Amino acid sequence: MATSAVKTLRPMAKNVSFTDESMTVHLADDASITLPIAWFPQLAAATADQRQQWELLGGGVGLHWEEIDEDISVPGLLGLPCQ
């Protein structure tokens, strides 16, 4: 009997952009998710320059803003379990 492994893909961020009202996370598979910035109080209170000072965590599994002490899980944005 042959078996095959099911490969589960984790969503990975590659970029983040902002407007005054929203944050868009651009994913490695070229999809994107746009959410109200009001859902993220630390980002909503940050300056535009502070919002641009982000870095990828775990190769894109998360996003981090050092100066404002904010971390966001990409799977969490999509309602998926964080592994």
Sign of CA dihedral 76, 36, 43, 40: negative
Q: What percent of the chain has pLDDT over 70?
A: 88
pTM for this one? 0.85
pLDDT in tens, 22-58: 999 999 999 999 999 999 999 999 999 999 999 999 9
Residue 63: the pLDDT is 98
With vertex at residue 59, the alpha carbon angle to CA 57 and CA 62, rounded to the nearest 5 degrees, is 35
CA distances to 58, 69, 76, 82 from 11, rounded to whole Å, are: 11, 22, 10, 10
Residue 80: the pLDDT is 84
pLDDT in tens, 53-78: 999 999 999 999 999 999 999 999 98
